[in-house]
Amino acid sequence: MENKTENLSIKIYGEPILRKKASEVKEIKEDGLRIIETMIDVMFANEGIGLAAPQIGIGKQIIVVRNDEDIIKLINPVILKKEGEEEAKEGCLSLPDIYVDVKRAEYISVEGRNEKWEPVIIEAEGLTARILQHEIDHLNGVLIIDYTSPVSEVLVKQQLKKLRRL
């Protein structure tokens, strides 16, 4: 069986693509569908719960998110509405072994397109809302370390130096 993920490893902190705003997808074609399937494979291979295209070196506005037994596939996602606020520790496949307290909305409404290029609106709360916000941040070049408090920033910077040496 062919390994679809062998050439698409997770981009680690320090890779420039992680800080760039991803390009809007104009239409979905066969290559776009392949990207989505590859993203799902890479997410599962790395035991992730969400993945944004820039994390595998593709500067397109595409995310995939595990949601119970289903997988949300969103193209050009935009947050329409946020409600409430909760803080929780988050990790990231692009920042291995780094966990940061991040405040996120408890409930969100997100508009985008699915893999059939149909417009969709996803309403989510709890963990799914958190994952969606995290992955949409990736599309805008925002990482969890951007949420660190000044107190924990020193520790995180030490951990980031180790990552850059890998």
Tokens of 143: 């990482």
The active-site residue, picked from 6, 106, 135, 153, is: 135
Phi-psi region of 47 (alpha: psi -120 to 50; beta: other; left: phi over 0): left
Contact assessment for residue 98 and residue 130, using Cβ atoms and an 8 Å cutoff: no
Contact assessment for residue 85 and residue 105, using Cβ atoms and an 8 Å cutoff: yes
Q: How far apart are CA 31 and CA 164, in angstroms?
A: 31
Residue 135 annotated among the catalytic residues of the structure: yes
Provide the 10 A C-beta neighbour count for residue 6.
Answer: 8
SS3 11: coil
Planar angle of CA 5, 22, 123, nearest 5 degrees: 90
Q: Where in the sequence numbering do the catalytic residues fall? A: 135
